[in-house]
Amino acid sequence: MTQLETQLTALRQEAQQAIAAIVTLEDLEQLRIKYLGKKGSLSQVLGGMGKLSAEERPKIGSLANEVKEALQTGLDQKREALQAAQIEAQLEAEAIDVTMPAVYRPQGQAHPLTSTIDRMIDIFVGLGYTVATGPEMETDYYNFEALNFLPDHPARDMQDTLFLPDGNILRTHTSSVQIRYMEDNDPPVRIIMPGRCYRRDTVDATHSAVFHQLEILAVDEGLSFTDLRGTIKVFLEAMFGEIPIRFRPSFFPFTEPSAEVDVQWQGRWLEVMGCGMVDPNVLKAVGYDPETYTGFAAGLGVERIAMVLHQIDDIRRLYASDLRFLRQFQS
């Protein structure tokens, strides 16, 4: 037996023993590189084949291939065994005991205010309106001046405004979103503006310092009070069904003429929203030509609608986070 044959036989035995002792895939890869890599032990042994005679080379070459195949087979089998063991260990570690008692997690549901807003939005989106939003902290300009609330005008007293130290205010209505939207968009406009508002109200069964509004704005050529009345009628019938509706003259600085809208609910008239044709001064403030365009607007309190729909007797229940109350609205 030549020296190379002896080296190859010893290399095979050494490598097979090393493979058998390996316990991780990382170590196995390092062992492969050690024996079968370009600079591995097998390559170093075969580097001496150049000194062999022509008769010895085929014999040593055949033996080298046998050694290489045997090592590669041993490495592959060991890799499969280690991978299978790794998967088995992972499955065992992640096993779920299906006989254990389940952890009860009560099903959540939308808050009555949220579900009411969603229902209103669905109705108006179906009528071709899009949703617009704006900041809850506003400037005097967007909350009042651009909406035709003149400085020191008595109409501002209706808003019970909360003023901030930096001179801004907490918006008293979502009407400010109308101005912001129209400043950035040319007519025609059909938007709804849901959102949270703030007023310096004394909290009682029907008033809250924090409340939600949804306002409607449409601006186009040729819109009239008839279009306003028809839109409101479609909306209220979608919310309440076919019920009597009436319009009463009223006053709002940003609409003229203006009206309050009542519905007959359970034998009595309930006020549900205010509305009117957009005042020309509001259109001028955003750069719209009031000689070309007209518009209508309406606004309603979400809490009022939710209380009517669900027969809630106290607005404070909507903000108390009492689960006994909220569980009544599970769908």
Q: Is 330 exposed, middle or buried (0-12, 13-18, 19+ CB in 10 A)?
A: exposed
In the block, residue with structure tokens 């080379």: 57
Distance CA 224, CA 130 (A): 20
Using DSSP's 3-state secondary structure scheme, residue 144 falls into: coil
Complete DSSP assignment for 271-300 = EEEEEEEEPHHHHHHTT--TTT-EEEEEEE
145 annotated ligand-binding residue? no
Residue 80 in contact with residue 73, Cβ under 8 Å?
no
Q: What angle do CA 232, 238, 220 make, to 5 degrees?
A: 35
Of the candidates 82, 74, 76, the residue with the CA atom closest to the CA atom of residue 19: 74
Sheet containing 162-163: order of strands: 137-138, 169-170, 162-163
Using DSSP's 3-state secondary structure scheme, residue 145 falls into: helix
Binding site per annotation, positions for Mg(2+): 256
* Annotated binding-site ranges: 256
